[in-house]
Structure 1
């Protein structure tokens, strides 16, 4: 049963006290109207293709910015890593090769000590369930990246948050059945890194490092027996042709990947443009998740068309649940500099997650059935207008000024 969520959102934002206050982004001091602004063209570096979920979300955001600025702001977009390759995503953005680009904590954990720690917290704290985990984790991650210590860390690195992208419930396809711990033992699996590599090891699998461009041949030759990655990758690369089983494991929640501004580029924008860009974020976040859920449904349909066997993962899911529970104590004791009281920090973030869980409960109709049915129906279960409204109310509290 859906219900009004406005009051809950206000309470969630009020609870964002991880640093004792909500940081206000620092923009230009001048107050210019659109009519006095010269045309602006911002360069965007996308690692993904134009049809990727990330790109779809950014397209919605860019369209709104173009419209609300009466065409005064436009974008020059470079897809597929043609401007800044993945290995240089952070350094290229910092150097100003692009005004906007992709940044991932897992590629640069030593430069993002708090971001890396936050990602580990998310793995164990974000509530499970589909589509709830993505909806809750995305909203909470958004607020966290825009405020307090997380924002400070980004600022010190010369970047400004734009879209905090989350990943959850990545499917695993295999060349043989993997339904039990016995089945999983010793299986050669290719993942995209943490947290999935750690989860594979917890299930008894053996991680194999293979560039994704070589995964198709590696599965044909038996060098890789299972692949865990996002649904868009599976449906767009042809790799599903060389497997015949899918295990919809309750795999880990990952945060820390994001689209971001070069901070100098952001700071140079007139305040009215910063505000328009900020106000376009709710539609961007909503489209990112909607596109993600639609990609899951497309993956399931493709697996069905290819006559995949869908394996029962009850035993594997139970093992992963106990594995995540065991991680919390270790994560809490490894807080990075800047977190003076880890217990207080974790309690505040847990309260934020609980608040967003309450919000999400009000905007979805629970999906009955197993993981297969949930992934097929997730996009239709969400009242996207209500979710976008909740995100907008949250972001209104931290609008540039």
Structure 2
């Protein structure tokens, strides 16, 4: 992004963060009601080009082009402006104009319905990469249109621009785990639910340590396996310590990777600029999907070069996972947070949105044949022009 710059904060800048906040865009509208020139500061947790912030970068690129360069973005990468856990509060208070909610589970106290909704993703009939695309489209529409889900974010002083799935989950191990017998008693680092329960049902012994410590723990033999969204495998370069990669039908990724703008700034935008940001939701989704598919290509290539491999899981693995997910879905009505006044109505809405997106994908011809391997499915989807396709699909109502 030509007009976006990477900047590392010096000690002096950190001490003087209030001066930086003062330099953020001030709420105001152009005299003609159109788009005034402004530079927005963006705080993101990952390095430039990382898949997890691809949606935010794509959103910014779209807005810059649509405003003919009147609105530009200055990115502060790698938690250099705001730590990930403090990003929502920091954006709402004006330290940055635009931020990023990686996953609602980090802010469960503020986003209980969004966390609860994550279990609904396994209602979808599509799995693999197709399921990931369907879930992303469904999450985005629920975030934009559902009063409860959107209201939680707005109550934090933030306006959401898009939402998507954190992606397919898998696990990778030091040794081959071809069947259930081989999984019994193996230690597995898992960030949390529902994946801890699912791996436990397969016979693993789940536990948690910070992701940044997993490589060394596996290298020392303290940990046998690690479970996370598949692109995390490449981010932490696990090829040599965990060469056995499995992508069974674990629960779909939760909603996350949500670009947000502080609400007082959003409310100052002209109708024209608000419409441009709303339209950027499609660009954000397309950018993330393309980055996700590129990650699959990278993993496939590096795995082949390093001796790692994406291996087939035994059929009984997916059967057990399906049973666990069905039990959790059946219990959703009784586990809804107080903010969800009518759980059955909410879940009906979710299923209808998910089905509508499945129908749209099938009509557009982007649902692959069943039985494809994850690698083949990712290659199939790589031929799709996602920007063009998503522009043709119906926008959230």
State the TM bucket, normalised to the shorter chain: 0.7 to 0.9
Say whether residues 1:154 and 2:153 are aligned partners: yes
Deviation for aligned residue 1:127: 2.9
Is 1:127 matched with 2:128? no
When structure 1 is superposed on structure 2, of 53-62 and 109-118 the one drifting more is 53-62
Alpha-carbon distance between aligned partners in 2 of 1:281 and 1:347, rounded to the nearest angstrom:
24
**Among 352, 377, 380, the residue aligned to 2:382:** 380
Match of 1:17 in 2: none
Shift of 1:309: 4.3
Task: Summarize deviations over 1:224-245 as a string: whole Å, max 9, x none.
Answer: 1111223433223332221221
* Matches of 2:113 and 2:329, distance apart in 1: 16
Residues 1:205 and 2:204 aligned together: yes
Match of 1:315 in 2: 316
Alignment match, 1:352? 353
Partner of 2:100: 102
Q: TM-score, normalised by structure 1?
A: 0.84
Q: How has the CA–CA distance of structure 1 residues 172 and 154 changed in structure 2, closer, same or farther, with 3 Å as cutoff?
A: same
Q: Determine which structure has greater relative contact order: mean sequence separation of CA pairs < 8 Å that are 6+ residues apart, divided by chain length.
A: 1
* C-alpha separation in 2, matches of 1:239 and 1:380: 24
Decide whether the 8 Å contact of 2:126 with 2:134 is kept in 1.
no
1:28 and 1:93 map into 2 onto residues whose CA distance is: 17
Q: Deviations over 1:45-67 (max 9, x none)?
A: 11122111243332222122112
**What is the CA–CA distance in structure 2 between the aligned matches of 1:273 and 1:366, rounded to whole Å?**
37
How big is each residue's C-alpha offset from its partner over 1:310-337, in whole Å with a ceiling of 9 and x where there is no partner? 4331221111111101111211212222
CA shift digits 1:116-160 (9 cap, x unpaired): 1111222x3233422221111111111110112211221112111
Q: Return the alpha-carbon distance in structure 1 between the equivalents of residues 225 and 238 of structure 2.
A: 11
Within 5 A, what are the aligned runs for 1:216-231?
216-231=215-230
Distance 1:255 1:365, change over 3 A: closer
Cα displacement string for residues 339-372 of structure 1 (whole angstroms, at most 9, x for unaligned residues) = 3322222122211111111111123151565424
Q: Which whole-Å deviations, capped at 9, do the CAs of 1:195-217 have from their partners, x for residues lacking one? A: 32222222221122222222111
Indicate if the aligned counterparts of 2:166 and 2:255 stay in contact, CA closer than 8 A: no
Q: Is the 8 A contact 1:44 1:75 kept in 2?
A: yes
* 1:302 partnered with 2:302: yes
Matches within 5 A, 1:215-364: 215-257=214-256, 258-313=258-313, 314-363=315-364, 364=366
Q: TM-score, normalised by structure 2?
A: 0.85
Aligned CA-pair RMSD: 2.3
Which ranges of 4 or more aligned residues in structure 1 deviate by more than 6 Å? 27-31
Matches of 2:64 and 2:383 in 1, distance apart? 31
Distance in 2 between the 1:69 and 1:303 partners? 42
245-254 vs 305-314, greater mean Cα deviation:
305-314
- Segments of 5+ residues of structure 2 without an aligned counterpart are 1-26
User: How many residues of Structure 1 are paired with residues of Structure 2 in the alignment?
Assistant: 366
| Pairwise CA distance, 1:106 | 0.7
